[in-house]
Amino acid sequence: MKVLNVAEKNDAAKNIAFFLSEGGMTRREGFSKFNKVYQFQCFLQGQKCDMVMTSVSGHLLNWEFVGAYRNWNGCSPESLFDAPVVKFCPDNYTDIKRTLEREVRSANKLIIWTDCDREGENIGFEIITVCTAIKPNIQIYRAKFSEITSQSIKRALQTLGQPNKLVSDAVDVRSELDLRIGASFTRFQTLRLQKVFPILADYLLSYGSCQFPTLGFVVERYLERERFIPEPFWKIRVTHTIDDLTVEFRWQRDRLFDENVCQALLLKCQENPLAKVEKVDGKPKSKWRPTPLDTTEMEKIASRKLRLSAKETLKIAEKLYTQGLISYPRTETNIFPGTINLSSLVQLQTDDPNWGGFAARVLNDGPNPRQGKKSDQSHPPIHPIKYTNSLQGNEWKVYELVVRHFLACVSKDAKGHETVVSIDINTEKFTASGLMILEKNYLEVYPYESWNSKAIHLYTVGQTFEPTVLEMTSSQTSPPNLLTEADLISLMEKHGIGTDATHAEHIETIKSRMYVGLEDNIHFVPSAVGMGLVEGYNHMGFEMSKPNLRAELEADLKRICEGTRQPSQVLREQIDKYRTLFRKAKEQVNKIDAAIGKYTQSTAVVLNPEDDPLSAQMQTFDRVLPCKNCGMDMVLRRTNDLQKFFLTCVAFPQCKGSVWFPKKVLDAKVSDTSCPKCGPRVKLIDFKFSPGSMAPYYPQNFTGCINGCDTEFIEMLDISHQLQG
């Protein structure tokens, strides 16, 4: 019995093979130098098997347009909503595909070991597609695991299930839509604006369902700041200094927006400026330990405290995961499951010189996680699963963060004692507070947060004192800050834009498109082009830069996973929705022109209709019938010199299913008509022949039903061959 095992990446394959073989695997080369083949024997379903373990590198296949639709000037951007797409293995991945094809020939079973998330399920089906093309009846299983440890991997092998087609389908819908919408709007914006604004001639003006809302967040915050009108306000300030200690009292009214009223209240205080202590409250105060670590929280802490970009943090965490040091780093979960053995995880850390003592104390008290509220039902919060002290640089910093956060969240809240003193100055009330920290607890191991004691004088109820300062201060409200990377990630997470793994990339994209820039190296500001694009669509009344559109799709994808919605139906609805938006955007494109003109301070070039890259000269292909070779669309085209017509398979040159008509065909037009057999979806081709040709021997019109029910079309093709001959 030979079993082919395929993981999502080489590191995972190596470690899984290591655990299943107890370290006894051998290694040989695959066609791809990055994806090795590991071999060992082990028991599966009571039978000793020859195991072959290899890997892909993420997605193996990618949606692509075919033939003429790849060419920016070969079709109208709008036709991309309906253009055929194929799943294609990119050149740099064909080596991986060849390894799978070679190894599956001799295998009886196939086990999918891709990550247990939505994309992983889809990658699993890509592997299945490739393998079953070679071996249609191979037995297929899905291994389910959420961390690469000996225990989890062995359990996964003993509890093999089936791959989940619904989850994979949802990914196919998502990815096909991303391509169609992204490509059509990108070409639309780019082709139009490059022509209308010569200064943008070298710009690529992309649109994407994630990058645009990300840009939208930056623009929105910028505008909030711009529109902000500061309001002056006034406060009464009271301090009390004895020796070196100054205690600041807070006015119970906080601040007033009327200077005269504030002035009057101050005068009242000054009439009898003796403070009387009315109340001294002492109460325990806690600072809560953090909740278990999820991906975005890790990215945010690393961005703020370690000065690592989200992109870098995730890359490092991924490496630590594949080395078996930490659990899966892409998780939305911040609740530890009951099944996890926290004590043994804490135990692993007790030898460390920095936090070993703390870990030992946690063990003594018993780990007690503060639980969050989110769960993705597949991965636990990020935690260390192996001890190491041999990492360097940023890898060490990220590992340290994961360990310290883990120990912190299973320890105890910091405890303190707060004193609140309330005073009265001629009926105006003020308070001051002091804090004494009693037990640092989690803060001992968690340097990313601080909590400072605040000293206060000893006051007793009924005591009176003369304030050191009693004055009015003026200030004004301040606008919200521009967004930092951490802020932007929070917004993306909140609105479901991108995944844990891609937040950082979308931010990179809008930077590289010159839609946004950085101020002070920290705060995001939109560029003129970024502002113009967002405003242009806003003026049409479209929420292109708002997160709502994506959120609606996300909800439908969830329903596909649950089996309550058909993938094909969701796909059709979404395509229809965006096609409608696209048509309206095309009609009102002057609104984008106007906005871009305004922000870039340049004048729009007035285009002649024939120069408009989006106008009639751009062909929209009419699908005439399915190609006999490959089933893709056949469309009617004319050569560049206008000499000849031909029916071409849109997959050309991959398919080469084109049919040429003789020069004697002077004109050919496609129009809609109805089919007597199967309804309205029929194309009619009218041919006009040159005088004196053989045409009179043949009917002038040929009808072909695009559903393929009508045989006349096939006859026509045969005739065209005869004519050519």
Partner DNA sequence: GCAAGGTC
**Shortest Å, Cβ 13 to DNA:** 9
Of 117 and 400, nearer to DNA (C-beta) is 117
228 contacts: CB under 8 Å, gap ≥ 6: 479, 480
Which residues, numbered 323-362, are part of the site for DNA (CB under 7 A)? 330
Between 83 and 407, CB nearer to DNA: 83
Count, residues near DNA per rule CB under 7 A: 52
Per CB under 7 A, 450 contacts DNA: no
- In the residue annotation, 93 being an active-site residue is answered as no
Taking CB under 7 A as the rule, does residue 115 contact DNA? yes
Binding to DNA in span 460-499, by CB under 7 A? 498-499
Is residue 600 involved in binding DNA (CB under 7 A)? no
CA separation for the pair 593, 105 (Å, rounded): 57
Amino acid letter, residue 54: T
CB 316 within 8 Å of CB 398: yes
Contacts 24+ apart (CB under 8 A), 298-302: 298/329, 298/382, 298/401, 298/402, 298/405, 299/486, 299/489, 299/500, 299/503, 299/504, 300/486, 300/489, 300/490, 301/401, 301/405, 301/448, 302/397, 302/398, 302/401
Binding of DNA at residue 370 (CB under 7 A)?
no
Closest CB to DNA among 32 and 422? Answer: 32
Gap between the Cα atoms of 154 and 20, Å rounded: 7
Residue indicated by tokens 């597609």: 129
Compare residues 59 and 289 and give the one whose CB is closer to DNA.
Answer: 59
First to last CA, the chain: 56
Binding to DNA (CB under 7 A) within 24-53 occurs at: 34
Between 129 and 344, name the residue whose CB sits nearer to DNA.
Answer: 129
Q: Which of 26, 73, 474, 481 binds DNA (CB under 7 A)?
A: 73
Task: Report d(CA 635, CA 81) in Å as an integer.
Answer: 16
Residue 119 touches DNA, criterion: CB under 7 A: yes
> Which residue, 119 or 400, is less far from DNA as judged by CB?
119
Shortest distance, position 669 Cβ to DNA, whole Å: 28
Binding residues for DNA restricted to 498-537, rule: CB under 7 A: 498-499, 501-502, 505-506, 509
* Whole-number Å distance between alpha carbons of 426 and 113: 74
**Tell me, what DSSP letter sits at residue 690?**
P
Q: Which of residues 54, 79, 168, 322 is near DNA by CB under 7 A?
A: 322
> From the list 63, 233, 465, 660, which residue makes contact with DNA (rule: CB under 7 A)?
63
Structure tokens at 386: 């192996």
Report how far residue 336's alpha carbon sits from residue 373's, in angstroms, rounded to the nearest whole number: 10
Task: Give kind and range of the element (H or E) at residue 488.
Answer: helix 485-494
Nearer to DNA, 81 or 459 (CB): 81
Segment lying near DNA (by CB under 7 A), choices 111-119, 560-568, 581-589, 656-664: 111-119
Closest CA to 100 of 138, 64, 149, 74: 138
Nearer to DNA, 43 or 72 (CB): 72
Q: How far is the CB of 123 from DNA (least distance, A)?
A: 7
Among 147, 178, 220, 424, binds DNA (CB under 7 A): 178
Q: Which of 43, 72, 228, 451 binds DNA (CB under 7 A)?
A: 72
Whether residue 80 contacts residue 33, with contact meaning beta carbons closer than 8 Å, is answered with no
3-state secondary structure 662-676: CCCEEEEEEEEEEEC
Stretch that binds DNA, among 64-72, 302-310, 463-471, 637-645 (CB under 7 A): 64-72
* Site membership for DNA, residue 186 (CB under 7 A): yes
Q: Which is nearer to DNA, 152 or 502 (CB)?
A: 502
From 2, 11, 49, 417, residue interacting with DNA (rule: CB under 7 A): 11
Q: Using CB under 7 A, which of the segments 4-12, 302-310, 453-461, 577-585 binds DNA?
A: 4-12
Q: Does 57 bind DNA (CB under 7 A)?
A: yes
CB 90 within 8 A of CB 62: yes
Please name the residues in contact with 212: beta carbons below 8 A apart, sequence gap of 6 or more. 544, 545
Cα–Cα nearest to 298, from 12, 9, 493, 519 = 493
* The amino acid at 16: I
Instruction: Note whether 14 binds DNA by CB under 7 A.
Output: no
Q: Distance (Å, rounded) from C-alpha 273 to C-alpha 270? A: 5
Among the listed ranges 54-62, 235-243, 399-407, 695-703, the one in contact with DNA (CB under 7 A) is 54-62
Q: Please report whether residue 208 would count as binding DNA according to CB under 7 A.
A: yes
Which residue is catalytic, options 38, 69, 93, 328? 328
Question: Which of these segments, 154-162, 174-182, 474-482, 671-679, binds DNA (CB under 7 A)?
Answer: 174-182
Rounded to an integer, what distance in angstroms lies between the CA atom of residue 42 and that of residue 39?
10
DSSP label at 454? B
Distance of CA 40 to the CA centre of its chain: 37
Distance (Å) of CA 608 to CA 536, 589, 611? 22, 15, 5
Q: Which phi-psi region, left, alpha or beta, contains residue 46 (left: φ > 0; alpha: ψ -120 to 50)?
A: left
Residue 446 near DNA by CB under 7 A: no
Q: Which of 47, 92, 137, 377 binds DNA (CB under 7 A)?
A: 92
Out of 204, 555, 605, 666, the only residue in the binding site for DNA (CB under 7 A) is 204
Please report, as ranges, the residues that interact with DNA according to CB under 7 A. 8-11, 34, 57-59, 62-65, 70, 72-73, 92-93, 115, 117-119, 123, 174-175, 178-179, 182-183, 186-187, 190-191, 194, 204, 206-212, 315, 318, 322, 330, 498-499, 501-502, 505-506, 509
Mind telling me the catalytic residues?
328
